[in-house]
Structure 1
């Protein structure tokens, strides 16, 4: 996910060199922000989903360790 984030930001920053107007640069910045936000959202959603799955599947193992 980190590689995807870095590559996306790097690719978006290179596209701004072709812009000749402020509107083009602003549009590029907004697109970069949306793309970065989407990657971070997927990253966090995946972390939450995997965390919930881990908590549910390890519940019995944690209880057995406490009984020892």
Structure 2
């Protein structure tokens, strides 16, 4: 599961580094602003994936803990 989230983040960052077709034809400050906006969007996306990753880890951890506690032998 961890590898899937890591691959998701890496591919998202790599895809964001490709030239954005919406920035074509822009020059100077407009081009820089367009690229910076894309970087902000990438950061927000990566942050959301990391938040989802943490939530899934917590849910799976609690579920596993409950499972282990329910399988314990009672004295």
How high is the TM-score relative to the length of structure 1?
Answer: 0.79
Number of corresponding residues: 65
Is 1:8 the counterpart of 2:8 in the alignment? no
Structure-to-structure mapping, 1:1-68, within 5 angstroms: 1-16=5-20, 19=23, 20=27, 21-61=31-71, 63-64=72-73
In structure 2, list runs of 5 or more residues that go unmatched. Answer: none
Contact 1:5 1:39 in 2 (8 A): yes
Higher relative contact order (CA 8 A, sep 6+): 2
Higher helix share: 1
In structure 1, list runs of 5 or more residues that go unmatched. Answer: none
Identify if the C-alpha distance between structure 1 residues 38 and 15 changes in structure 2 by more than 3 Å, giving closer, same or farther. farther
